[in-house]
Amino acid sequence: MPIRLREAMMKNNSMKRFFTHLPLLSSISICFYVYFPGFMTNDSYLQLGEALSHQYSSDHPAIMSALWALLLPLAPKLHPQTPLLVFHMLCLVAGLWMIFSATFPSREKLIPVCIAFFLLWPPILGLMGNIWKDVGMVSVWLLAVGLILKAQFEHKFNLLWWALIPLFYGMSVRHNAPPAMLPLLLWMCWIWSKGASKAILLKRATSLLLALFLLSALLSKALTWGSDRSFIHKYTLFDLAGISINTGKVIMPDYNQDIKLNELKEIYTPKTNEPLFGSWATKALNGPSTSEQSKETTALWLKSVLTHPLAYLKHRSQVFGATIGMTHQIQFPYHMRVSPNQIGNKSLQDFITPVRAPVTKIVKFFSQSLLFKGYLYLLLNIAVFLFFWKKRSFAFREFYLALSASSILYIATLFPMTGASDFRYNIWSLCTAVLIALHWTLSKSSPDPRIEIA
């Protein structure tokens, strides 16, 4: 073949690959252009303070703070959040690419379109640019899902061991993540040992979960050694406030006995526990300042829940209903700015671009729609689980079951374990529902022989 003809063909193939991946490249560019330097809330700055000082507490996931500290030397001037933003985006895009490429190797032209659709879905677009533990968990867990799928369909079983690393990290940054990880571990164990009984698979997955949880707990304890701060009291005192409102009598630890019922009613709302502890309130609750007060709070919480179960369930039902958008207007549906701070990080007003403004308007337009209702994605995941539980001959059955079951368990843990109704708490359910919908749509038109629809 003449050299010039060969060069022309190579150039033509390169151009084809470029235009094939143009939707993906464009969506990544838009996201990073909109997200830069990384959106920050007050929680983000408090966690950044721990990363800068190397003094960690259980107020924030210590493992994530330690990772942030390791990435700080890569940070550009005035933007300490950017390396973590890049880390999250790389994990997310790599995971999505592996998910689609491992299962649809013959649909190379449509894979970038699917990933672009996922990244630009308004609720996802409004959340993924934030330096939050929720975003970190979703990003690394989708990377793990991609590794598991490559192991299953490309028979690269050593990737299952690598998948444990992002699974471990994701579990370590969200306190309610361990139950949601069990279906993913069950899926992995099924790939490892096909033909094993359900009891054996459950035993192996549970043992693996407990081992990873113990390792996470030990590592977090080592990082927070010497710190007496804890976030648990924000949940227990929130529950005690709700029980007090529903029973009509103040049930509080001794160090909060001076608060009256009418004062408690003024600062209590099932949508968030922040007013209970906010400095702006005329009368706010005090957190425990000693280990004895922490023990007193926990003991009183347990006694009150057992003594007034209906009052507790009413309170928790209202909180959960608000979290998934059923009983109250969704709170904090998106966050696309850098909040004011004291560490010299410039406000995002200094970084307004021609792209950011219209994108933010689009997200804001959809923020009051059904797309920003957590219960929508919960119902979709429940429907997926029930449908594919009976569909035995579908090639991606285990993938869909693992993802939907994981998201259902994740949302279920919010019933007893959330202190606010922020939309971001629905992020895993949101991402799994959108991902399964895209993947299933592509499978309907896929000529790949591994698809065996009953």
98-151 pLDDT, tens digit per residue, is: 999 999 988 888 888 899 899 999 999 999 999 999 999 999 999 999 999 999
Residue 298 pLDDT > 80, yes or no?
yes
| Alpha carbon distance 39, 88 (integer Å) | 13
**Would residue 127 count as lying in a domain?**
yes
Q: What secondary structure does DSSP assign to 338-407, as a single string?
A: B---SSSPPPGGGG--TTHHHHHHHHHHHTTSGGG-HHHHHHHHHHHHHHHHH-TT-TTHHHHHHHHHHH
- 266 residue type, one letter: E
Give the up-direction half-sphere exposure of residue 231: CA atoms within 13 A in the CB hemisphere.
16
pLDDT in tens, 407-423: 999 999 999 988 888 89
Clarify whether residues 213 and 238 are in a common domain. no
- 225 residue type, one letter: W
| Alpha carbon distance 294, 236 (integer Å) | 10
Clarify whether residues 277 and 186 are in a common domain. no
pLDDT in tens, 20-55: 567 677 777 878 888 888 888 888 888 988 898 888
**Token reading at 324:** 């998934």
pLDDT in tens, 132-145: 999 999 999 999 99
Query: ∠ CA(73), CA(77), CA(81), 5° rounding?
Result: 65
The domain boundary residue, chosen from 286, 307, 328:
307
pLDDT in tens, 233-256: 888 999 999 999 999 999 999 988
Clarify whether residues 96 and 66 are in a common domain. yes
Which residue's structure tokens are 């991609």?
Answer: 146
Clarify whether residues 125 and 240 are in a common domain. no
pTM for this structure?
A: 0.90
Task: List CB contacts of 416: < 8 A, sequence separation 6 or more.
Answer: 316
The domain boundary residue, chosen from 256, 289, 307:
307
Clarify whether residues 191 and 209 are in a common domain. yes
Is 131 in contact with 40 (CB distance < 8 Å)? yes
Q: Using the CB atoms, write b or e for 149-162: b if 16+ within 10 Å.
A: bbbbbeeeeebbeb
Specify the 3-state DSSP secondary structure of 422.
strand
pLDDT in tens, 417-445: 888 888 999 999 999 999 999 999 998 87
Q: Which domain holds residue 243?
A: 232-307
**Token reading at 431:** 């991402």
Clarify whether residues 24 and 152 are in a common domain. yes
Clarify whether residues 43 and 83 are in a common domain. yes
Is 136 in contact with 385 (CB distance < 8 Å)? no
Specify the 3-state DSSP secondary structure of 420.
strand
Looking at the 3D structure of the chain, how many domains does it have?
Answer: 2
More confident residue, 77 or 393: 393
> Is the peptide bond between 37 and the residue preceding it cis, with omega within 30 degrees of 0?
yes
Clarify whether residues 204 and 276 are in a common domain. no
Task: List CB contacts of 273: < 8 A, sequence separation 6 or more.
Answer: 234, 235, 237, 238, 241, 419, 420
Residue 177 pLDDT > 90, yes or no?
yes
Clarify whether residues 28 and 83 are in a common domain. yes
